């Protein structure tokens, strides 16, 4: 559990500190990726909140935005002090504001992660090529693992949206 909290702490700090109107706020606003139900994310990150409050001597407000783009905009407008961005959302946020990464999630000695394609057994999809002629659903357009990587892998395999499969 302690290792998990350490990983979560690194994860939450992966993006950057944005210059806020108050250089030493009493409460730090920490944004977490909106990759599942907001109340679940907040609940799962109580250990991170406690750790940060203890280590920093500040109150921590955990924030989950409605989507990746609104998190980028909140950071850009100084409404957040810290944020965890995935690879693609970080690149987009960096283009819009002067943020600086200072930590990265490391699990089992690696800073990489995987993206998977999930298909209903009855669809007949067993390989990437089997997606031809099917409908494909993606996650948030600013998500690396649920949008960018799957779409890139399909393109690398010669499957183009609109021609070879439909995007839902």
* Domain presence at residue 101: no
Report the CATH number at residue 39. 3.40.190.10
Judgement on whether residues 125 and 92 belong to the same structural domain of the protein = no
117-162 pLDDT, tens digit per residue, is: 899 999 999 999 999 999 999 988 888 888 989 999 999 999 999 9
Q: Using 50, 70 and 90 to split pLDDT, how confident is the model at 46? A: very high
Judgement on whether residues 66 and 21 belong to the same structural domain of the protein = yes
Q: How many domains does the chain have?
A: 2
Judgement on whether residues 78 and 161 belong to the same structural domain of the protein = no
Instruction: Provide the residue range defining the domain that includes 59.
Output: 2-96
Q: Is 140 left (phi over 0), alpha (psi -120 to 50) or beta?
A: beta
* Domain presence at residue 56: yes
Please state the three-class secondary structure of the chain as a single string.
Answer: CHHHHHHHHHHHCCCEECCCCCCCCCEEEEEECCCCCHHHHHHHCHHHHHHHHHHHCCEEEEEECCCHHHHHHHHHCCCCCEECCCHHHHHHHHHHCCCCCCCCCCECCECCCCCCCCCCHHHCCCCHHHHCCCEECCCCCCCHHHHHHHHHHHHHCCCCECCCEEEC
Judgement on whether residues 76 and 159 belong to the same structural domain of the protein = no
Judgement on whether residues 20 and 88 belong to the same structural domain of the protein = yes
Judgement on whether residues 9 and 78 belong to the same structural domain of the protein = yes
pTM: 0.68
* Domain presence at residue 116: no
Judgement on whether residues 92 and 140 belong to the same structural domain of the protein = no
């Amino acid at each position: 559990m302690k290792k998990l909290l350490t990983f979560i702490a690194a994860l939450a700090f992966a993006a950057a500190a944005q210059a806020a109107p108050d250089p030493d706020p009493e409460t730090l606003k920490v944004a977490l990726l909106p990759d599942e139900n907001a109340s679940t994310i907040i609940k799962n990150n109580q250990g991170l909140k406690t750790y940060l409050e203890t280590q920093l001597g500040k109150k921590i407000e955990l924030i989950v935005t409605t989507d990746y783009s609104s998190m980028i905009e909140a950071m850009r407008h100084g409404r957040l002090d810290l944020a965890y961005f995935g690879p693609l959302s970080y690149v987009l946020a960096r283009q819009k504001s002067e943020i600086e990464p200072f930590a990265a999630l490391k699990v089992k000695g690696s800073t990489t992660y995987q993206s998977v394609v999930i298909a209903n057994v009855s669809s007949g999809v067993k390989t990437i090529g089997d997606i031809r002629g099917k409908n494909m659903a993606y996650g948030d357009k600013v998500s690396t693992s649920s949008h960018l990587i799957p779409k890139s892998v399909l393109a690398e395999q010669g499957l183009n949206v609109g021609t070879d499969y439909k995007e839902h």
